[in-house]
Amino acid sequence: MADVNRGNRPLSPFMIGSVYRPQITSVMSILHRLTGIGIGLTGVLVVWWFLAASTSPYYFDFADGLLTSWIGNLILFLALVSLWYHFFNGIRHLFWDAGKGFELGQVRTTGIATAVAAGVMSIVTITIALWG
């Protein structure tokens, strides 16, 4: 039978805060997976928009009104950030596939660079879209 008295050690690594501090590699990995899911869902949203355009003017007005509302713009902005993040993190993974960038300092630096590049390119894309 298992020893019930295990002392004062942590029970789970999911106790984020004082017991477990997430590393940049785990955060980047989780974000990469989430952005991949988000990009897939955005693809479904775009297909729905095109389907609405080919169905009827009324259905297209509904879909277009939803996508150009504040919530639609927020979803599209998050999709844009996800796309750029996934792109730059994919390049980071290509370097890893080549055996480059596995030193601890390099992993941290490229992780931060990936997030910064995604943010910068998202801002550049929005700027071009609005005032291009």
* For the chain, domain boundaries: 24-131
Instruction: State the Cα–Cα distance between residues 39 and 85, nearest whole angstrom.
Output: 11
pLDDT greater than 70 at residue 102: yes
> What is the second-level CATH architecture of the domain 24-131?
Up-down Bundle (1.20)
124, HSE (Cβ side, Cα atoms, 13 Å): 7
pLDDT greater than 70 at residue 4: no
The answer to whether 63 and 49 have CB atoms below 8 angstroms apart is yes
pLDDT tens, residue by residue, 13-36: 566 666 677 889 999 999 999 999
Instruction: State the Cα–Cα distance between residues 109 and 116, nearest whole angstrom.
Output: 11
The answer to whether 114 and 28 have CB atoms below 8 angstroms apart is yes
pLDDT value, residue 23: 87
What is the pLDDT of the chain when averaged over all its residues? 91
86 labeled binding residue? yes
pTM for this model (two decimals) = 0.83
